[in-house]
């Protein structure tokens, strides 16, 4: 059985990167959206990503970004995976011929199957809550909105924390989970114990799934 991957998003400090890696994160998210309190510059992102060991992936979050910003980020962070959270078309996402994630803003009536089909070139579809503006705002969406199966790997996001991620993994069975505000002491400032508890909770969910498979 494949384990659930973990992405800790919105990192702005060296200590938070180190804790995320020590706790078992598979990826860290760096926000290149200047309206976010978690935004970092390309230079700062490169400093933070430079602390990553092999096999931990830096992911850059963009919202309707200018091509020049994405170009600069890819030049500074050669291993960067792109994550698009705005109104980007499939053609815009594919422009750089790099691995990318596409965020889907979940709301009643949203056709996730059609969305996943249109963005079939994405490595995964990231499921987030619909809010005014962009980003999930730390809100949980109604997981019952999800169809029985999605033709793309799914990253579950939106209001996750150690308190609800076990339930989310058991119900959705995502390829990965993505957390930001649920492991923070304040916006952009992560809490080491919350990160550890979150990662431990994901592993516990995986153990429960493995136990169910054996029974």
Outline where 104-214 has alpha helix (H).
112-118, 165-172, 192-214
- Concerning whether 128 is annotated as a catalytic residue, the answer is yes
The alpha carbon of residue 84 and the mean position of all alpha carbons in its chain are separated, in whole angstroms, by 10
The alpha carbon of residue 157 and the mean position of all alpha carbons in its chain are separated, in whole angstroms, by 6
Q: 3-state DSSP call for residue 206? A: helix
Strand partners, 127: 104, 156
- Concerning whether 199 is annotated as a catalytic residue, the answer is no
Q: Which of 16, 26, 128, 178 is catalytic?
A: 128
Q: Which of 9, 26, 178, 199 is catalytic?
A: 9
Tokens for 133?
A: 């503006």
Catalytic residue annotation: 9, 128
């Amino acid at each position: 059985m494949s384990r659930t991957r973990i992405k800790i998003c919105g990192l702005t400090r060296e200590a938070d990167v180190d804790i995320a890696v020590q706790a078992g994160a598979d990826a860290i998210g760096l926000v290149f959206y200047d309206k976010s309190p978690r935004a970092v510059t390309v230079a700062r992102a490169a400093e933070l990503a430079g602390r990553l060991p092999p096999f931990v992936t830096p992911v850059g979050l963009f919202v309707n970004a200018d091509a020049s910003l994405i170009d600069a980020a890819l030049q500074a962070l050669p291993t960067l995976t792109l994550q698009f959270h705005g109104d980007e078309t499939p053609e815009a996402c594919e422009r750089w011929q790099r691995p990318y994630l596409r965020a889907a803003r979940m709301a009643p009536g949203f056709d996730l199957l059609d969305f996943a089909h249109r963005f079939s070139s994405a490595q995964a579809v990231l499921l987030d809550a619909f809010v005014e503006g962009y980003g999930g705002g730390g809100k949980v969406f109604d997981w019952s909105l999800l169809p029985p199966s999605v033709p793309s790997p799914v990253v579950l996001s939106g209001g996750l924390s150690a308190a609800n991620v076990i339930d989310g993994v058991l119900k959705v069975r995502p390829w990965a989970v993505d957390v930001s505000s649920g492991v923070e002491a304040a916006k952009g400032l992560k809490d080491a114990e919350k990160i550890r508890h979150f990662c431990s909770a994901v592993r516990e969910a995986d153990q429960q799934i493995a136990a169910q498979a054996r029974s």
